[in-house]
Amino acid sequence: MMSHKTSDDYDYLFKVVLIGDVGVGKSNLLSRFTRNEFSLETKPSVGVEFETRFIELEGKTIKVQVWDSAGSYRRTMQRRLHRLSLGVLLVYDVTKSGSFEAAKQWLKEFRENEEAAKSDMVIMLVGNKLDLMHLREVTAEEAQAFCEREGIFFIETSALDSTNVGEAFQQMLTRIYNTPALMST
Ligand code: GDP
Ligand code: MG
């Protein structure tokens, strides 16, 4: 992994990527995590490639670089994912079953890609828009069962009211930190 150690800077650089259908809340999860901001409008994420935030983890300073994929997940997978990402936040919208199906499809293609499938990249499924529970189309139970079958992690979030956003990133970063294969290259 990319590890930079300087005296007053940071111990590790973790690069993670947000993937998922348009409109599921990737950009708002990013802005909530890095700046504690939320926006009601969908802004095309043109130009915004990534944002960074420093966090403390087990006494180490981690520079977290979060990439927001504006384009299709296929293009993202090909162009970015294999370039040193340590984790993937695979986002869907709990009120849109189609976005859950898209996430499943992404994982299927990821598994079929030999190079990707061999990696130790940490994958976490993120069901966003938990605040819209009355409009829910994907139950937590079915998403959890899917993740157990696939051996990936699962969390539900709301970028709007901040529920679990910090936790999603914290869990992902802790898992990266505790994956020796990701920390040793
Ligand atoms: P992206 O295309 O995946 O980057 O999605 P955006 O972050 O641009 O969000 C798309 C729309 O969903 C915007 O109108 C956001 O305000 C809204 N949105 C994002 N996250 C949430 C959330 O947790 N709850 C609700 N209610 N709306 C959200
Ligand atoms: Mg976006």
Q: How far apart are the first and last CA of the chain?
A: 5
Task: List, as ranges, residues with CB under 5 A of the ion ligand 2.
Answer: 26-27, 45
Question: Between 137 and 1, where is the model more confident?
Answer: 137
Using only the alpha carbons of the chain, give its radius of gyration: 16
Alpha carbon distance 179, 86 (integer Å): 10
Ligand 1, atom nearest to 132 Cα: 26
Alpha carbon distance 99, 85 (integer Å): 22
Is pLDDT of 143 > 90? yes
Is pLDDT of 7 > 50? no
ipTM: 0.99
Ligand 1 center–CA 62 separation, angstroms: 27
| Mean pLDDT of all residues in 149-154 | 97
For residue 27 and ligand 1, the question of a CB distance below 6 A is answered with: yes
Alpha carbon distance 138, 158 (integer Å): 15
Ligand 1, atom nearest to 91 Cα: 3
> Ligand 1 pocket check: which of 28, 138, 162, 164 to mutate, most ligand atoms within 8 Å of Cβ?
28
pLDDT value at residue 144:
98
Centre a 10 Å sphere on the Cβ of residue 18 and count the other Cβ atoms it contains.
24
Total-model pTM: 0.90
Ligand 1 center–CA 150 separation, angstroms: 26
Ligand 2 center–CA 71 separation, angstroms: 9
Question: Between 184 and 170, where is the model more confident?
Answer: 170
pLDDT value at residue 45:
60
Residues 19-65 pLDDT 10s: 999 899 999 999 999 999 998 877 666 545 789 999 999 999 999 99
The ligand placed nearest to the CA atom of residue 30 is: 1
Is pLDDT of 147 > 70? yes
Residues 70-88 pLDDT 10s: 655 555 555 555 567 899 9
For residue 85 and ligand 1, the question of a CB distance below 6 A is answered with: no
Concatenated DSSP letters of 137-160: -S-HHHHHHHHHHHT-EEEE--TT
Question: Between 28 and 6, where is the model more confident?
Answer: 28
Task: Tell which residue, 127, 137, 136, has the closest CA to residue 164.
Answer: 127
